[in-house]
Amino acid sequence: MAAQEHIRYIARLGDDAVVLGQRLSEWCGHGPILEEDIALTNLSLDYIGQARALYTHAGALEAQGHGEDHFAYFRDEEAFENHLMVELPKGDFGFTVMRQFLFATFAYLRMEALAGQTTDPELAAIAAKSVKELRYHVEHARDWVVRLGDGTAESRERLHRSLEQLWPYTGELFTPDAVDTWAETAGMAPDLARLKARWDDVITAALTEATLGRPEDGWMQAGGKAGRHTEHLGYLLAEMQSLARKHPGVTW
């Protein structure tokens, strides 16, 4: 069996993906225009696809007979170690694209680094695939942030508000805990300080172009990676897990 930290590192990559994928799926039938309804649900599919591969890999490392469904459907809130940012309610379209931009840029840079490591070849393969998908997530979200930020007074105000609401959740992305440090020492995970420098460049350039500017770093939220979540995750999981728990092993 692999190290506990190794399994947790992979599982929490899956947690980020499955929770954000579930949030994005809530746009199905509610997008502001048909094209964006399709776009957001396609993004959702990408994240769920990534989560499936990551959970399957975590289960194989754990070697206790747990498949992807165990990780997604049969663990409680405290066992999820996703970043708090991805579990926040979908908000309006402006909030969703701002979160997509801040998070997908982080996810892109993280997967790019994971694709280049050799400690865990299966993870490298999953990451190499994910990075190609995330590229389009970044592009899509960046376009909207610039268009709406540098748009009408109303769209600019909404983007600005979303940015202010989301910014306290960006600190957690780059604050390593024991699992991150283990994975970095093992040569698997990237140095989060270096990742942040690259993330800052991309974010600042886009926010400047969007006439929004980069917020000042203040007090930052934390707890997701320790299983301490906002009240929102429980509701999300209740909806996502109810079918699988009521009818375990159901197929159709």
Partner 1 sequence: MVSPPDERDVWKQLATVVDPELPFLNVVEMGMVREVVPSEAGGWLVRITPTYSGCPATDVIMQDIRRVLSALTADVEVEVVHHPAWTTDWIGEEAREKMSAHGIAPPIGSHADKSFLLGKKQTVPCPLCGSTSTRLVSAFGSTACKAHYTCNDCLEPFDHFKCF
Contact 18, 72 (CB under 8 A): yes
Rounded to whole angstroms, the Cα distance separating 16 from 53 reads 13
Region near partner 1 per CB under 8 A, out of 43-51, 65-73, 74-82, 211-219: 43-51
Q: Does 28 help bind partner 1 (rule: CB under 8 A)?
A: no
Rounded to whole angstroms, the Cα distance separating 101 from 247 reads 36
Who contacts 203 (Cβ-Cβ below 8 Å, separation ≥6)? 101, 102, 105, 214
Rounded to whole angstroms, the Cα distance separating 2 from 194 reads 27
Who contacts 13 (Cβ-Cβ below 8 Å, separation ≥6)? 50, 54
Q: Least Å distance between CB 118 and partner 1?
A: 11
Q: Which amino acid belongs to residue 219?
A: W
Region near partner 1 per CB under 8 A, out of 5-13, 38-46, 62-70, 238-246: 38-46
Q: Does 97 help bind partner 1 (rule: CB under 8 A)?
A: no
Region near partner 1 per CB under 8 A, out of 204-212, 220-228, 230-238, 239-247: 204-212
Classify 33 as helix, strand or coil. Answer: coil
Q: Least Å distance between CB 177 and partner 1?
A: 27
Q: Least Å distance between CB 122 and partner 1?
A: 7
Rounded to whole angstroms, the Cα distance separating 217 from 65 reads 43
Q: Least Å distance between CB 84 and partner 1?
A: 24
Q: Does 205 help bind partner 1 (rule: CB under 8 A)?
A: yes
Binding site for partner 1 (CB under 8 A): 35-36, 38-39, 42-43, 45-50, 52-53, 105, 108, 121-122, 124-126, 128-130, 132-133, 135-136, 138-140, 142-143, 146, 202, 205-206, 209
